[in-house]
Structure 1
Amino acid sequence: WAGSVGPLTLQISGAGLRIALTALLKAWISVQASVLLLALASPPSIVTALRRMRLPDVIATSAGLTIRYLEILRDEARRMLRARTARSASPVGVGRERIGGTIAWRARTTGSLVGSLFLRAYSRVQRIEEAAASRGATGSLSVGTLPVADPRLTIKVVGVLILVLVLTLAGALLPRL
């Protein structure tokens, strides 16, 4: 297939489409594995596990701080959305799907919400960093030892991983049939 979009000419081949779909599938599986890991393990246990795998302390600490920063972003976003809902003039359920004007207006509103979210989160992270420094933080996350895993949880995790593997293999082999 070939077509043009503005000044660009696009050519899509079967091999190129297969490569693109494979890359998308791998990215999807990676995101799902990350979500599963974050849902099943606490940030300190993830950092401890990374250290047990003998990853450099800088990488383990960066991973732990990234997880904590994402939690801060999530909390700030929830607060801002709750505040926006509270300021809304229409009652819940009455015309809620039509709140807002044009797509451009919604894009501006969402853009200002995201910008404000990052500014608030950055300010909050600075306050947390100053508080940690005043308490003598060394720059390394202090985490305890990993608790012994619950066998039922281990069986569930292994089951989900086997399911993901089967779906991946089915997706890889299905186009060839």
Structure 2
Amino acid sequence: MHGPVLSGWLLVALCAATGAYCLVRARGCAGEARRTAGGEALMGFGMAVMAVPATVVVFPHWTWTAYAVVFGAAAFAALWAARRGGHHLHHLVGSLAMVYMALAMAPGAGHGGHTAAGTPLLTGVLLGYHVMYVLRSGVRLVPVPSAAGTPGGASADPLPGLAPACRLVMGLAMVAMLITL
């Protein structure tokens, strides 16, 4: 990615840690939850590699084609799974955003069509979607007091897991990556 080296490495560390957590979470569940956690792990690790500062590591030209193929396949899988509902439409948008960024980062792509005149429409749409996703996810992390005055919500578990926080982190990372595209 283009941008300050320190923030690039911090983004790499954050996305890699999120991907690792999602991978561990995938090992502890089955069925649809396992597929969701696996998709989130793929996204976390993919974003970590993509966030490596361009001034430090220059990837071979075929890397971005491989990215487009991998995340294109992930988008197809998310589209196929979306017919059952759930979180898959977000995975579809995220995977398509990764394909878009990979194609924009390919040598000779001109950084996704970004010019002095402004940001391409697709970048703006993806950025708007992910900003709204981050805001919605952030609000969902805030505990809601129950009628008795104690924190309540959808789960009686006092530690419902880090999955919602990881989704928020990946949404924020996507916003950061789209801004620096």
TM-score (norm 2): 0.26
Q: Which has the larger radius of gyration?
A: 1
TM-score (norm 1): 0.26
